[in-house]
Amino acid sequence: MKIGVPSMGERGMDEAVGQHFGMVPFYTIIDSEKETVTVLPNTSSHQGGVGYPPELLHAAGVDVLICGGLGSRAVQMFEERGIRVFVQASGTVKDALAMYEAGELPEASDENVCREHGHGEHSHHDH
């Protein structure tokens, strides 16, 4: 299984979890079967590239996303690609993975998504 975590840099398991899922510079991907950690640059349209983060992570084979939070549209895009999303992660990637493995992170739902994104209304930080 591959687990993706939005991250603020390239330090793998020791990197901070990025709290604005789509705007992070990197995604750390943990492959539990191969026991490898890779860092994938965020080349989505949010960072001046092409496509959306759910498409990028799906192409990388991610099965589960662990993050601080994200909007309802992103959750829908992950669901369409068969990727489960867990929210309220914090600390380092290693911390977030431990929280997930301990069953401490709730799965994304209408009750726990970011309300400022995904409803077609953009504030001053339009993206």
Residue 23 in any domain: the answer is: yes
Per the DSSP assignment, residues forming a β-bridge with 26 are 7, 41
CA 37 – CA 12 distance, rounded (Å): 7
Helices (H), 1-127: 53-59, 72-80, 93-101
pLDDT digits (tens, 9 = 90+) for 60-111: 999 999 999 998 899 999 999 999 999 999 999 999 999 999 999 999 987 7
CB atoms within 10 A of CB 83: 19
Angle at 39 between CA 35 and CA 40, to 5 degrees: 125
State the total domains in the chain: 1
Q: Is residue 4 part of a domain?
A: yes
CA distance 30 to 99: 14
Residue 10 has a CB neighbour count (10 Å cut-off) of: 12
Domain that holds residue 51: 1-29+43-60
18-52 tens-digit pLDDT: 988 889 999 999 999 999 999 999 998 877 788 89
